[in-house]
Amino acid sequence: MDTAIPPETVAAYLAADFIVDADPSFVMHIGQRCDAIAALGASCCAFITACNPLGEPADAAINEQRQAAFAQTLTERGLTYRTGAGCDPKEEWPCEPSFLILDLPLAEAKTMGQTLKQNAIVWCGADLVPQLILLR
């Protein structure tokens, strides 16, 4: 992979649990089909956070503000989303609040992630297999 993101960071993203608050809640893993996504009725979806731009840990209050502003943007754009969190199964880093945004095409999802200065996003198409999309 040609990326500015450190290999250990990419490895952490690939191993993460992407938890979605739905009814019932479910966990997505990169490269593994997730049939629970189909129950949401979306043709595609993206898992994106506004926390910790460029992978640099930020103060919890700042991350809360970023997430609140991101939620407001999603609502203003009329996008449907579920809350969630990206978590390290080894618990070496804290869970990162995130949103699973429904019916967000890949190009839009990438632009959104880049606007939020994220290293990567998770995107899933009709095949129901979440993919790690590196943004830098």
**At a CB cut-off of 8 Å and minimum separation 6, what does 91 contact?**
none
pLDDT recorded at residue 1: 61
**Stretch 113-127: mean pLDDT, rounded?**
98
pLDDT recorded at residue 2: 81
pLDDT of 92 strictly over 70: yes
- Positive/negative CA dihedral, 69, 25, 119, 123: negative
93 Rama sector, left if φ>0, alpha if ψ -120 to 50, beta otherwise: beta
What percent of the chain is predicted at pLDDT more than 70? 99
Mean pLDDT over the full length of the chain: 96
**Stretch 50-59: mean pLDDT, rounded?**
94
What are the sequence ranges of the domains in the chain? 7-134
3-class secondary structure per residue, 90-125 = CCCCCCEEEEEEECCCHHHHHHHHHHCCCCEEEEEC
- Per this entry, what is the length of the chain? 136
Query: pTM of this prediction?
Result: 0.96
Half-sphere exposure of 93 (CA within 13 A, CB side): 18
**Stretch 97-125: mean pLDDT, rounded?**
98
